Amino acid sequence: MLDAPFTLRSVMVERFPVAGAFTISRGAKTHVDVVVCTVTDGAHVGRGEGTPIYYHGETAQGCAEAITRIASNPEAFDRERLRALMPPGAARNALDCALWDLESRRTGRPVWDLAGLDAPQPLRTAYTISLDAPEAMAAAAARARGRGFTLLKCKLTGEGDEARIAAVRAGAPDAALIVDANESWAVADLAARAGALAALGVSLIEQPLPAGRDGALADAALPVLVCADESCQSLADLDRLGGYQAINIKLDKAGGFTEALVMAREARGRGLRIMVGCMLASSLGIAPAFLLAQQADWVDLDGALLLAQDRDEPLIVADGSLRWSTLWGAGAVIKSLLD
Q: H or E segment at 30?
A: strand 27-40
**DSSP-assigned letter for residue 215:** G
For the beta carbon of residue 323, count every other beta carbon within 10 angstroms: 16
- Res 5: pLDDT: 77
From residue 36, give the alpha-carbon distance in Å to each of 11, 227, 247, 259, 289: 6, 29, 26, 19, 16
- Res 238: pLDDT: 93
CA dihedral 180, 142, 148, 127 (to 10 degrees): -20
Closest to 158 (Cα-Cα) out of 201, 200, 210, 225: 210
Name the active-site residue from 153, 155, 253, 335: 155
Active site residue 29: no
- Res 72: pLDDT: 82
Name the active-site residue from 29, 153, 250, 253: 250
The tens-digit pLDDT sequence of the chain (339 residues) is 545 578 999 999 999 999 988 998 888 899 999 999 999 999 999 999 999 999 899 999 999 999 999 988 756 788 999 999 999 999 999 999 999 999 999 999 999 999 999 999 999 999 999 999 999 999 999 999 999 999 999 999 999 999 999 999 999 999 999 999 999 999 999 999 999 999 999 999 999 999 989 889 988 889 999 999 999 999 999 998 989 999 999 999 999 999 999 999 999 999 999 999 999 999 999 999 999 999 899 999 999 999 999 998 899 888 899 999 899 999 865 444 444
Name the architecture of domain 7-109: 2-Layer Sandwich (3.30)
Sign of torsion, CA 220 27 23 310? negative
- Res 219: pLDDT: 84
Q: Where in the chain are the domains?
A: 7-109, 123-338
- Res 339: pLDDT: 43
> CA–CA separation, 285 vs 276, rounded Å?
13
> CA–CA separation, 64 vs 146, rounded Å?
39
Which CATH topology does 123-338 take? TIM Barrel (3.20.20)
pTM of the model: 0.94
- Res 73: pLDDT: 76
- Res 332: pLDDT: 67
The alpha carbon of 34 is separated from its chain's Cα centroid by a whole number of angstroms, namely 14
Active site residue 155: yes
> How many residues appear in the chain?
339
